Amino acid sequence: MQSYCVEFIILEGDNMTSIFPDVNINLFGIHVDSKHFFGVLTALVVLPTVWLRDLRVLSYLSAGGVIATLVVFISVTLVGTTEGVGFHQTGEAVKWSGMPFAIGIYGFCYSGHSVFPNIYQSMSDRTKFPKALFICFVICTAIYGSFAIIGYLMFGDKTLSQITLNLPKESFASKVALWTTVINPFTKFALLLNPLARSLEELRPEGFLNETIVSIILRTSLVASTVVIAFVLPFFGLVMALIGSLLSILVAVIMPALCFLKITQNKATRTQVIASVAIIVVGVISAALGTYSSLASIIGYY
């Protein structure tokens, strides 16, 4: 989940630089450009929310993130319909050379599994958990697919990894979308970092310092490491594809099928076994292709 937080830091740096491109700071002979400045600023602003350990409090922040995502979607649609951009771009429906990259992106989008146990534990009515997951995945699929179609129809091959960077800066709807995108990570950062932080906190030796102090130090260190990684790999789309291919497909595709076979063992039907094995094979191939493609592109930048 820390990888998602890395993406949020990159996202904030890119979008805030788009809004304030001339921000540069020279401190004690060290030059800090706008992307690095806003990356550090984002970490400092989000840090107090990371210290929160109660998921019920964090759920209110997450609800704000859902609303923010819908606002961005509506704003981008309005830009296409009212700002003279239109939905008239055409091109190849499928580019096979871009499939490894696309696989990584989609793997990244569907791999929030590490948050699920914490959400389940925090629910007042846990019998509704499967229904909640189903609704969430349906909504996410609809939003992701709609964004992809609308973005391509608006900007075609020139669509950037963050569609907000394509939008005309003078448009009011563009400004709403851009600022909402800036606000959105603050609603999700703490929730995504919490599972990793809690797992590490459980490793604290009995009697070693105060639990609250250890929690604050650990969570602050995680945020700091997130910023460092974001600065080392400042490529939003490529990092997303790399994480999606290398880690997310393992969590979202390969491991569930392996766990199903392990749990059911001899009780699984032949159809279930064949389907599970097919999913595992496709997942391994997709992960390998996506990881190679992403790494090759990142190395190419350097």
- Sites in the chain below the pLDDT cut of 70: 1-2, 54-62, 93, 114, 207
Q: Are 32 and 223 in contact (CB under 8 A)?
A: no
DSSP state of 7: H
pLDDT at 59: 67
- What is the H or E stretch that residue 26 is in? strand 25-27
130-168 per-residue burial string, b: 16 or more CB within 10 A, e: under 16: eeeeeeeeeeeeebeeebeebbbbbbeeebebbbbbbbe
pLDDT at 65: 72
13-48 per-residue burial string, b: 16 or more CB within 10 A, e: under 16: bbbbbbeeeebeeeeeeeeeebbbbbbbebbeebbe
**Residue 169: CB partners within 8 Å, gap ≥ 6?**
18, 175
To the nearest 10°, report the CA torsion of 117, 119, 125, 127.
-40
Q: Are 51 and 216 in contact (CB under 8 A)?
A: yes
pLDDT at 54: 67
What's CA 240's distance to the chain center, in Å? 7
pLDDT at 281: 93
pLDDT at 280: 92
Residue 260 sits at the vertex; the CA angle it makes with 255 and 261, to the nearest 5 degrees, is 100
pLDDT at 275: 93
